[in-house]
A and B are shown apart, each in its own frame.
Chain A
Amino acid sequence: MFRYIVNRILALVLTLFIIVSIAFMVVRLMPGSVYEMGGDLSQQVIDALNAKYHFDEPIIKQYYYFLENIFLHWDWGTSAKMRPGVPVFDILRDRIPISLQLNLVSLFAALPVGMAAGILAAIRKNTVVDYFVSLMVVLFISIPSFVFAAALQYFLGFKLGWFPIIYNVSAAGVARWHSMFLPILALSFDPIARVARYLRAELAETMNSEFMLLAKTKGLTYAQSTIRHGLRNSMLPMMNIIVPMFANVLGGSLVVETIFAVPGMGGLMVDSINASDHMLTVAILMFYSMISLITVLIVDISYGIVDPRVRIGGKK
């Protein structure tokens, strides 16, 4: 198991390296010079900039300096257009917490709701409740999160005025959460539906198994057998879908963050691409790569922990 994890982490580092190389090359080969921003710069300033950032040297050498800075100084470069002169890593450090907060809260808020819906649908299988849950699942999974976001923003935010239309940056405490409610809600529809669908299928199958019959024969009540035996056995496989859902939600939050003007990673990525702030774009792409690679790694390792049958690469 240990060797397997080490191998996987090495592969992860290699993949990250390839991604950062490709991203660097792509971004550097894009049209548009760094010097455009300041308008007319004197030769002196250009020379000074060249001396600092090595823009006049061949791209391979620039690449070398880029990697050297990252590995030796953890220096991801400097933003050129969004916030000129500010180190990219500092910008990310401001933005990451709020994105993570948004995504994690919406995911964890979705879990109990989704589980409740799934359990309800499974124990009331083939009744109106089940059909209603199934309908909701189809709607929530199919309709894109940005459509939900727009609908919530218009009806709950604008027409009814229950929540702020956009995220309130300056507010703190309750007011901040109040303004964060709509984006969280918009993001949680998809995980709710996925959890409900998965748990319903899983629990419905468990309920038909023989140990459930045995439990009931031994005199457990319906609720006891469902909660202690059925539910417990269906919970384990849930791990497998919850972790990848996190990477999923991140992608959706990119758009939802722009809609609600949340100052997180999503808005930053959109802005930096549109402003062609290259170093920033590379760093953001790296952030997203890192998140999704780590997610995949956690899933693969947790498979082995949760279910020893799929463990690979361990001792015989």
Chain B
Amino acid sequence: MVLYENNKEKYDSIPKEKFVQVQKDQEIHDVDFKTKPIGFFMDVWLRFVKNKASVIAAVIIFILSIFAIAGPSMSDYRYDEQHPELVNMPPKIPAIAKMNLGIFDGAYLLENRQYDNLSDPEKYPEGCVLEILNPRLVNGQRIVDVYVDYYKYMGLEDEDCYWLGSDYLGRDIWTRLWRGTRVSLLIAVISVCCNVFIGVIYGSISGYYGGKVDMVMMRITEIISAFPRIVVVTLFIMVAGTGMFSIIMSLVIKDWVDTARMVRAQFYRFKGREYVLAARTLGVPDMLLIFRHILPNSIGPIITSSMIAIPSAIFSESFLAYIGLGLQAPEPSLGVMLSRGQKVLLYFPSQLVFPAIVISLLMISFNLFGNGLRDAFDPTLRGAE
């Protein structure tokens, strides 16, 4: 304005006709976007696939899930089929045993055997001796320790092999392992789904209505979250008995509170926004406002936190199995197999190794996957806890 005030005469002397709109009848050179607009989930996907570790983790989770579904039917044994004559067999996979790698060859150490008997096909069937160790002379006898292929030693065909060995009741560990993985995953996924379901509804109502409703509802969650997790889970299992359902419920009973709090916080962030006000002015009912307009904003945090909750549910399940509150026999779970394997660790380590590998892989993959999802949903949180 100062410019105009100072040069008033100069501007006023220009005749009005000289002022012309620049673009009046001209072609507009702006062009439409050639690329497609990227939606929220596409955006997340693009960010997610950039994170190599998370993608690998997702693939591992996928493979393990496939095995959990199909694994038990790949072996001829059933998960509860007992073979009292074949207890604690070592693992043997014929295809790998032929490669002479020293793993999965059904090797079992027989100590203090007479060397002269080794060539006796009655006692040691053809080809069962893998390695001879520690030859020594005791009382004029040639004594050795010998690694035998225990399946051949027992006179069993290759088709009858337990791929990952058998447990103390002669049950196939391969079948039990994958069935156990299935059970553990089911427990984790179902409990997390229940958490999310209860938490979302509770948190939405509490966050949306606010005021007294919010205060009362948050008091309740505070009381629940004050109870220590170990104590709640233990007490619940003691009341409800050890079954899959009661384990799931014991995990839900306290953990939904976290989801509820998170959803409530999201509601507080978004319920005052202008678009919500606009929708309300247009007469949108409360339920629609909650679930259609506000809740979708929290989809990212909800998915992320549920992914991170899965490994902790898997851990809790094994924890319960270790303290003797796991699933009832003969149903296997990773925790049950781990705690059984722990008892014979020093004699038959393979019974612990396989469930330990699977549970570690699951936990690592879910953690990495959860981290990747978090970074993808909310890049500002990258590298944070």
Contacts and interface: CB of A to CB of B under 8 A. Distances in A.
B367 A141 contact: yes
Contacts of A138: 364, 367-368
B325 A144 contact: no
Interface in A244-261: 247, 250-251, 254-255, 258-259
A142 B311 contact: yes
Contact of A144 (B235, B352, B359, B384): B359
B363 interface: yes
Interface string B221-243: 00100111111001100110000
Contact of A139 (B324, B364, B383, B384): B364
A270 B341 CA distance: 17
Interface stretch (A78-86, A147-155, A178-186, A307-315): A147-155
Interface stretch (B25-33, B89-97, B189-197, B315-323): B315-323
B228 A288 contact: yes
Contacts of B230: 250-251, 254, 288, 292
B342 A146 contact: yes
A234 to B, nearest CB: 14
Contacts of A274: 324
A158 interface: yes
B101 interface: no
A243 interface: no
A116 interface: no
Contact of A273 (B229, B323, B349, B359): B323
Interface in A109-153: 138-139, 141-144, 146-147, 150-151, 153
A130 B330 CA distance: 45
A279 interface: no
Most buried by B among A142, A258, A291: A142
A261 to B, nearest CB: 11
Nearest to B357: A147
Contacts of A254: 230, 319, 322-323
B254 to A, nearest CB: 12
Contacts of B323: 254-255, 258, 269-270, 273
B325 A142 contact: no
Interface string A278-293: 0001000100110111
Contacts of A258: 322-323
A269 to B, nearest CB: 7
B345 interface: yes
A154 B385 contact: no
Contact of B346 (A29, A147, A165, A269): A165
A273 B234 CA distance: 9
Most buried by A among B239, B322, B367: B322
B57 to A, nearest CB: 10
Contacts of A291: 228
24 contacts: A11-B226, A15-B226, A18-B223, A23-B235, A26-B239, A141-B367, A142-B360, A144-B360, A147-B338, A147-B359, A147-B360, A150-B342, A154-B346, A158-B345, A201-B383, A251-B319, A255-B322, A269-B234, A270-B324, A274-B324, A285-B231, A285-B235, A288-B230, A289-B227
Q: Considering the complex of A and B, which 7 residue pairs feature the smallest CB-CB distances, nearest first?
A: A292-B228, A142-B364, A142-B363, A255-B322, A15-B226, A270-B323, A143-B360
